[in-house]
Structure formats: structure tokens, C-alpha cells
Chain A
């Protein structure tokens, strides 16, 4: 194939998947961070009989962030109203303790309560309670983790957000919406033909994606809660790579309707596309900068695929990547500081991170087939697809690459992750 960066897109489509899919994941944390807060998450009172082991979810969330190190609980029951003997935790090397309880209310809802203690200062850092539907018990756990993360790091936690991804098992493709730890997945769409490039709208209510169900790539926008969807781009040739503007009103897309893959802007309600730039090269994979003023994209105009940036008015194309002969799939962090992307180095496709201001680049992975990086909405982590032990899997990594967690598909191959926005 003439343009290899197109072929990587399609090798996914051609790849053979042998295992049935499942929505269940397991988190494996590996690697060592440098400044991690040692924390003890006590088993929540009542969680043995509850739907979800809240403390385990909280602990896994915190560990995955790379900012925390779990210290095993030294003694038994504690809930959000107990006054813990902090010296015990201090001796165990813990800087913070989370304790809480889970109970089922008469109406069937689950009541999750917790309290956070600063062991070093001997301070009560507050707590919350969530009464949620039983199905949302895991969400409540993620909210606990968000609270702890924000209190102890000062940054907003992104554990209660969602990710979208695609699985394939046999001839069946499925688009899923899952918790940020990959679990609790709900199927949004099933199709015998490939589904690729899911992209969350900024309000977290809609997913744009490319479906091959009509035997050619066309773009849909799908309302996640209602399940209703509408055809957005079905022009002659291929319709691919949708990306939302920060205000949710516009989609940047790649169309080949006038010959060659070129970038267009399209109203999120459909209609006639406006050409963004005209080139005689392949331009694709657009993403908006968080300020909405620029669009990053991939082009082979310089003889090899590189990432460029252009003003949203189509003016002022400038090249962004200069190290390596093959750079694709940009994702920009919400704070505008970082760009995650895939670079081919020595035949391996690896996740890289560019400090946009300084131009410094670091490699975040040591795997060989990384794809589709996407930032957490708090700009602190990246989710990406990779191959591990011959299987397609999703990984999250911290920005220093030191702490990675595998969102482990038990029974399937998972690709095309996209991390959703904060939900209110």
C-alpha cells in the first residue's frame, strides 16, 4: 500500500480475532512512580454483600493514576463514622486513609458513604455520600476516587468519566461505552461490519464514529443515552476520522469525495461540508486544539506522514513533529500542554508524548503496535490500544510513562479507545 499510515488503519479491519468479547476487565498496575502518596483504602463496611467491592475499585483507580501507592489495611472494620487510630496507619507508612460503608436502601438504591483522613497531619479531610441506583455502584466508587485524588493532589480526578472503544469477536463488531477503568461496559452499537474512530462530543452525550455497515465508511453521530443516531457524512468516496470542535457545533472530517483524502468541516447537524485545506497529499486524522482555534492533522505532504497544525480558517499550516519519519494519530491534552501520538521507531509503533511548548519528545511505551492515544479529561493520563501477548488490549499510562495499567479484555480484542469528557 502506498501510504502506510492508511494501512495501519486497515490492518485492524483485516486482523483476525479469535476470542469472544466481554465487557469485563482487570487492572494490572506495573512500574514505579517517584512521588506516590502511600494510602490505605479500608474495605468498606457492608461491601462483602454489595454489588461492587467499593474499596477495591477506589484503590485500583488511585493506583492506576500513578500518584498513589496502596498500603494494606492493618486492622479490620472502619467506616466513615469511626474515629480511626491514625498512629497505627502512620506506623504502617500510610499518609492517608479512606474508610466508608455501603448499604442498600429500602427503595433498592445503594448508599455509599466515605471519609478521608490525612494521617500525617491528623486531619479529617471530609467525606461524601452517594445514594445511587444499584447499577451505578461502580460510578459511586469512582466518585470516591475522584474526591480523594482531588483532595490529595490538587488536580481534578477523572475516574468517574467514560471511555468508548470497539471490540470484535468473530464477525461481530461492537461499540462500547464503559467506565474509565474499562469496566461496566454498555453496548452502544453492534454490526457485522467494522466500526472505527469513535469520538466523544464535548458534552459527553454523543459519539461520532465511522461505520462500514453500508459497505463503505460513513460517519454517524450517536446519542449515547437515547441510542438514536443520525447519518452525518455519506458522500461519494470515504467519510472518516470525525473530530468534535470544543463547542460541539462542528466536526472536522476526512472526505475523499473530490478525490484524495482531504480535510473538511461539517456542522454537527449535517449539511454541506466546507473544505478546510486543499492539498495534493493525503490529509487526515484531524483533532481540534482545546481552544478551538487550530486543528492538528496528519499529512504526507512532506514525503512521510507527519503531524501538522492549521488555523481553523484553513490558514497557516505549520509542521509539529520533527523527530522520526512517521508520526500519526495526534491527541491533544485538555490543558493544551501535551500531544500524545504514535511514532514509528525502528519498525515499532510506539506511544510518544510531545511537550508542545518546548518541543521535547518522550517515549511512553515499550510495546510495538500502539494505536489511538486519547487523553483523560484532566490531562494526566493517556489511554491507548496496543498488542500484548498477541492480543489487542487497552492500556492507560501516566505522562511519565512510569505507571501503566492494562484494561484487560478477558475474552476479546479491544481497540479504538476514546476517553470522554468530565461529566456533571
Chain B
């Protein structure tokens, strides 16, 4: 396609006119706007830099804080573990000590019971005896039970002189009298039976002791004395088994 020459000149002229007009009226304003914008951009950049710097600092601080927290957690974890270990050991030690204490206490009480006074009950009377007292009394009684009346006498006599205030004393007197009766030492037997009755007429063995006195008197051919003794026995202890025996004995004496 070809343009005619005149047409071309016109078009160029119009274009130039338009450009000249724009330059005349808007150049300064645009320049100002650009400068203004440039300034704003600069300011924004400065602001951003500042924000970046400060947030970098903050981040670094946070990181350090986190590391420190982590470190502290590790320390706590290690502390906790060692405390748990100590606790486990202490718990075990306490358990061992408890066990040990129990064992000790048991063996102590076993050993002490051999030394400590203990409550016993003989012939309906309760009293406290020392281990030695108990041992000696039981030894004497064992000799009597074996039928060794000679040794039983010396054992019971020995017992009575060693432990005159013993709770076993009256019972010991009873067995001593019996041992003496068995060895035909009737006079001494009567003394001991009477001593028992005098010390405690309410003693469980008292009626039997009275009966034994009568038996001794009969052995000594003192039938009058025996009769009196038996009569007194029936009067004093009417409910006793000994009284029943005394009645039979009296009847046979008549």
C-alpha cells in the first residue's frame, strides 16, 4: 500500500502538535510526582530494612531463648533421671531397713523373752515370775514328777529359800510336803502343809494340804489328831473334793 505524500505530512504534523501540547502543560507535575514517588519508595525501603533488621535480631533472640530452653530441659531431664535413680535406691534402702528392723526386733524379742518376767498361772493364781524362777520351779516339779522325791525335796527347799516371795511359793510348799510324805518325813510334811494353810487358807491346794496333814497324822498313829483335822477340813471346806475324801476317811476311822 502506498500513502500519498500530502497525507503523510499531515499525520506527522498532528503527532508533533500533540506531543508539544503535553510537554507544555504536564512535565513539571510528572517530574514532581516521580520525585515524590521515589522518595516514598526510599522511605519504604528504609522502613523495611529497619523492620528486617529488628526482626532478625528478634529471631536470633528467640532462637537463643529456645536453645536455652532446650538446654534447661535436658538439664531437668538429667536431674529428674538422677533423682529417680536416687529415689529408687532410697526406696530399696528403706525396704531393706524395714526388713532388717523387723528381723532385728523379732530376734531381740526372742532373746528378751528369755530374760523378761512373764505372767504365769498356777493353781488358779496369776502372777509374774522371772525366767530363772520359772525355770527352777519347773525343774523341781519335773524331778518330783519323775518320782525322785529325795531330790525333789532339796530342789523345792532350795527354790523356797531362793525365792521366798515367789508366786510359786505356796504351790512349792505343797509339793515339798508331798515329797516329804513320800519319803516318810511326816513331821516336816505337816509343818509345810500347815505353813501353806496358814499363809493362805483360800489357796486352791489348802483343802488337799489339810487332808495330807491328816494322812501324816494317821501315819504317825495320831488318830485323834487326824480325826480333829478331818472334821475341821469338812467344816472349813465343805464343797471340796478333799472334804468328800475326809468324810470317807472319818467313817473308816470309827
Question: A residues bordering B, Cβ < 8 Å?
Answer: 280-281, 300-304, 306, 319, 322
Contact = CB atoms under 8 A, between A and B. Distances in A.
A140 to B, nearest CB: 49
A281 B92 contact: no
A302 B92 contact: no
B84 interface: yes
Contacts of A306: 85, 88
B151 interface: no
| Most chain B beta carbons < 10 A, residue from A281, A300, A302, A322 | A302
A302 B84 contact: yes
Nearest to B93: A322
Contacts of B86: 302-303
B84 A303 contact: yes
22 contacts: A280-B77, A300-B81, A301-B81, A301-B84, A301-B85, A302-B84, A302-B85, A302-B86, A302-B88, A302-B89, A303-B78, A303-B81, A303-B82, A303-B84, A303-B85, A303-B86, A304-B85, A306-B85, A306-B88, A319-B92, A322-B88, A322-B92
| Most chain B beta carbons < 10 A, residue from A303, A304, A322 | A303
Given A300-B81, A302-B82, A302-B85, 9 more contacts: A301-B85, A302-B81, A302-B88, A303-B82, A303-B84, A304-B85, A306-B88, A319-B92, A322-B88
Nearest to B83: A303
B81 A319 contact: no
A207 to B, nearest CB: 35
B209 to A, nearest CB: 59
Interface string B58-90: 000000000000000000011001111110110
Nearest to A300: B81
A301 B85 CA distance: 7
Interface string B80-122: 0111111011001000000000000000000000000000000
Contacts of A322: 88-89, 92
Contacts of B89: 302, 322
Nearest to A319: B88
B40 to A, nearest CB: 52
B127 to A, nearest CB: 45
Contacts of B82: 302-303
7 smallest beta-carbon distances between A and B, as pairs: A302-B85, A303-B82, A303-B85, A303-B81, A319-B88, A302-B84, A322-B92
A322 B82 CA distance: 14
A318 B82 CA distance: 16
B81 to A, nearest CB: 4
A352 B77 CA distance: 30
Contacts of B78: 303
B98 to A, nearest CB: 14
B29 to A, nearest CB: 67
Contacts of A300: 81
Contacts of B92: 319, 322
Contacts of B77: 280
Contacts of B88: 302, 306, 319, 322
A280 B86 CA distance: 17
B39 to A, nearest CB: 55
Contacts of A319: 88, 92
A322 B85 CA distance: 10
Contacts of A301: 81, 84-85
A301 B78 CA distance: 9
A201 B164 CA distance: 79
Nearest to A308: B88
Contacts of A303: 78, 81-86
Interface in B157-172: none
A281 B77 CA distance: 9
B9 to A, nearest CB: 83
A178 to B, nearest CB: 40
